[in-house]
Structure 1
Amino acid sequence: MSKTLLTKNRAIFVFLVFALGYFISTLIRASTATLSPVFSQELGLKAADLGLLAGGYFLGFAAMQLPNGYFLDKYGPKKIILFFLIIAFLSTIAFSNSENFFSLLVSRILIGVGVSVCLMAPLTGYRKWLPFDKQQRANAWMLMAGALGMLASTVPIQLLLPEIGWRNIFLLLSGLIFITIILIVIIIPSWGKTDTQIKDEGFSSYKVIWKHPYFLSLVPLGFFNYGGLQAIQTLWAGPWMTNVSGFTATQAALNLFWLNLSMLVTFFIWGFINPYFYKKGISTDKIIIYGVPFSFLALGFIIYSGENVSGFHFTLFLISSVFVSLAQPAVGMIFSNTIAGKALSSYNLILFLGTFSVQWAIGIFIDLFKSFGYATLIAYQLALSIFTICCILSYLYFVIHHKDHLKKNYS
């Protein structure tokens, strides 16, 4: 066994600590879908404002991805995630004490900065700490932990809201972040000397990644399809159910709970299935090409159903979008260990720029169509139709320009 590979028991503890961090980051990320009625009532936010507030997290998150890739490869996951979680801890406290939209937005952007390595840090570590055939499983189960965080952002948040208020909810989240910081100090292994002594090409090595044809073929898919998946899951599923379908805030939260529970189970099963695909020689590209179109059918079903849309419709969309989640670890594995962090963070930049853009753009289009005199239902349907067209075009771009999963690593 390689000296860098962790024993099974050590790997489990490392995974659980990293999973806790990612759980918290997605809980905060998705909380806006549940809390959107409260923010709208307290601050009088329009759809575009709500989209900007929710998207502020992704803006801060995306801004740090390229620097994070450099820092992760040079200093290792432990040092970097500790530094940024301290920022998240302080920003979450600031968010809980904000009195206006501007301070909420700035605090949320900084929260996005603070949790920006909660997935990239473990994925970078797994490249060296886990066997190659277990890395897709670890990725899927990290996403499962993220789905658990989104699950906690629904009914549990809704139940706590009238008891302690949204400000105290965020104070509790800051406490969880502090606990995670302590666990990381105790449990996560440090980058060894052999890791830090690898030749550092700095930011120049990003050229290899951003010029690689396989990476470029996945950029539109990550921006619109994967980014849009997160935009709908973490925000627009909630407002559709309350503003179009006529659900109460509690009913919408319950539907979001089942939606995110379904995603949790999906990623859990996905983690078991992925090694089977690997052993059978079924490439990631083929799985994406044959699987992603199911999400287009689900989007069409949502648009057609209109006022009858519930959590079931969005659940179909999220489950059918699971295939696109393979793109991120595929990008990481196509490059060598020396620039794995940069590759993963580069693609994460695409995902979260996409999430921010789609999340805000959907709100802008909804307000725009309503200003033209269209009913709320039609405004939502038209906005989602534009998003669907972008997803289809991105998929076709990948089909035309992709190369089958390369077995050679690039450094």
Structure 2
Amino acid sequence: MVFLAFAFAYFFSALVRAITATLAPTLTQEFALSARELGLLAGGYFLGFSAMQLPLGSWLDRHGPKQVILGFLLVAVAGCIAFSLAASFSTLLAARMLCGVGVGACLMAPLTGFRRWLTPAAQLRANSWMLMTGSLGMVASTLPVQWLVPAVGWRPLFWGLAACILLAMGLIAWKVPAWAPATASTGQGGGYAEVWCHPYFRRLAPIGFFSYGGMVAMQTLWAGPWMVRVAGYEPLQAAAGLFTINLAMLCTFWSWGVLTPWLAARGWGTDRLIAWGLPSSFAVLAFILAAGEGAGAWSWALFCMTCTVVALAQPALGLAFAPALAGRALSAYNLVIFAGVFVIQWGIGLGIDGFAALGLPVKDSFRAALALYLGCSLASWAYFVLSRPDNSRQ
């Protein structure tokens, strides 16, 4: 029941995160957004989200998941209401950032709790299934949202999201245990120095920024505009394509939850899976760039699915630290990931506009911007493979 209460909140967190991909054509038309502004709007969520990760980690270690997530979700409710009332790009962006701040604890709070409440094998499974729940939220952000917008408009949708988040708060308050006083006092001192200096954290940081952050950036934004502006999809077809991508992600995370304990028992730990599995995502992205307009929803689904192996790093990183540091370690890594999402979402938008200003057609501008991203991802993977620090605690 504790898992389900947290998962219910994370479902709506993921829906709020991904909804801009489906609403991109509507928002672009209503607010006359450029690719740069669209990337900044989507990335604004992650900017607000990232800004809270460091204080979040300290608060989680000190006060526990229940108290912290309830406070954060109140901000998410305010963000959804503000987004529904926005009348300009600047107010839309501010509200989007507020949404990012408010849902910033929806994954880190349960993962911090799981670090103390569950066995290592159960943590791997719970992490994958939390991400599966997030994928379910992203599925809900596609065709269901596309069907509802003509009927009720996009603004009332955010009032509905605010109400659902309030319901999630009620479930968490009811079912999630409070931090025991003895536990709450453990590890309050100190900051993030031990986390930043840890060799395993440094080894994982670049792939978290580029590969994990890039996967989320494509899933929650740029796969949609690619399908519309490069592959020639209609908005409803693009929403169906995003539905396909997120459904494929849901199935993939469910599979990881089933397989990771079995694989770990047979010598396929996190490091080995990432080293051997992540290059498949580079091959898929190279195919997308080469295929151009021939690469549609299924190509992007395969790219996101092959990227999911890097998500296994989160519980592995938590296990590399003592429980009293788990909140800070997980939140610091989450900061790296979502800073990557913000930079990549906005950076690709800047790249598209920049290459278009140099005279490239729209389709080639998309391909050139994504080629730069591919190069950065390859470099981060090479760093991961070539770095061999002592991470025996993991």
The interval holding the TM-score normalised by the smaller chain is over 0.9
Structure 2 partner of 1:6 = none
Deviations 1:187-208 (A, max 9, x none): 11100122112142132xx111
The answer to whether structure 1 residue 21 and structure 2 residue 21 are counterparts is no
Structure 1 partner of 2:384 = 398
Q: Give the residue type in structure 1 aligned to 2:345.
A: Q
Equivalent positions of 1:95-110 (< 5 A) are: 95-110=83-98
Structure 2: distance between partners of 1:307 and 1:180: 41
Instruction: Decide whether the 8 Å contact of 1:87 with 1:110 is kept in 2.
Output: yes
TM-score, reference length from structure 1: 0.95
Q: Give the residue type in structure 2 aligned to 1:110.
A: L
Structure 2 partner of 1:322 = 308
Q: Give the residue type in structure 2 aligned to 1:366.
A: I
Structure 2: distance between partners of 1:116 and 1:194: 26
Instruction: Decide whether the 8 Å contact of 1:59 with 1:109 is kept in 2.
Output: yes
Q: Give the residue type in structure 1 aligned to 2:183.
A: D
Structure 1 partner of 2:116 = 128
1:61 aligned to which of 43, 49, 58:
49
| Residues paired across the two proteins, number | 394
Structure 2 partner of 1:8 = none
SS in 2 for 1:200: coil
Structure 2 partner of 1:333 = 319
Instruction: Decide whether the 8 Å contact of 2:199 with 2:390 is kept in 1.
Output: no
Structure 2 partner of 1:287 = 273
Structure 2: distance between partners of 1:292 and 1:240: 22
The answer to whether structure 1 residue 376 and structure 2 residue 362 are counterparts is yes
Per the TM alignment, residue 389 of structure 1 is displaced from its structure 2 partner at its CA by: 0.3
2:347 aligned to which of 351, 357, 361:
361
Equivalent positions of 1:117-156 (< 5 A) are: 117-156=105-144
Structure 1 partner of 2:282 = 296
Structure 2: distance between partners of 1:278 and 1:76: 29
SS in 2 for 1:282: coil
Structure 1 partner of 2:248 = 262
Structure 1 partner of 2:177 = 189
Structure 2 partner of 1:167 = 155
Structure 2: distance between partners of 1:68 and 1:35: 29
Q: Give the residue type in structure 2 aligned to 1:157.
A: V
Structure 2 partner of 1:5 = none
The answer to whether structure 1 residue 232 and structure 2 residue 201 are counterparts is no
Per the TM alignment, residue 111 of structure 1 is displaced from its structure 2 partner at its CA by: 0.6
Change (3 A) 1:157 1:333: same
The answer to whether structure 1 residue 90 and structure 2 residue 90 are counterparts is no
Q: Give the residue type in structure 2 aligned to 1:132.
A: P
Structure 2 partner of 1:10 = none
Per the TM alignment, residue 401 of structure 1 is displaced from its structure 2 partner at its CA by: 1.1
Structure 1: distance between partners of 2:160 and 2:367: 37
The list of structure 1 runs, each at least 4 consecutive aligned residues, that deviate by more than 6 angstroms after superposition, is none
Instruction: Decide whether the 8 Å contact of 2:212 with 2:308 is kept in 1.
Output: no
Instruction: Decide whether the 8 Å contact of 1:69 with 1:341 is kept in 2.
Output: yes
Deviations 1:214-263 (A, max 9, x none): 11011111111110110000000000000111111000000110111011
- Structure 1 range deviating more: 353-362 or 130-139: 130-139
Per the TM alignment, residue 404 of structure 1 is displaced from its structure 2 partner at its CA by: 6.4
Structure 2: distance between partners of 1:338 and 1:66: 15
- Of all paired residues, the percent bearing the same amino acid is 49
Q: Give the residue type in structure 2 aligned to 1:158.
A: Q
Per the TM alignment, residue 132 of structure 1 is displaced from its structure 2 partner at its CA by: 1.7
TM-score, reference length from structure 2: 0.99
The answer to whether structure 1 residue 113 and structure 2 residue 104 are counterparts is no
Structure 2: distance between partners of 1:22 and 1:28: 10
Instruction: Decide whether the 8 Å contact of 2:270 with 2:316 is kept in 1.
Output: yes
Structure 1 partner of 2:208 = 222
SS in 2 for 1:363: helix
CA RMSD of aligned residues (A): 0.9
Per the TM alignment, residue 384 of structure 1 is displaced from its structure 2 partner at its CA by: 0.5
Per the TM alignment, residue 366 of structure 1 is displaced from its structure 2 partner at its CA by: 0.1
Q: Which runs of 5 or more structure 1 residues have no equivalent in the other structure?
A: 1-12
SS in 2 for 1:321: helix
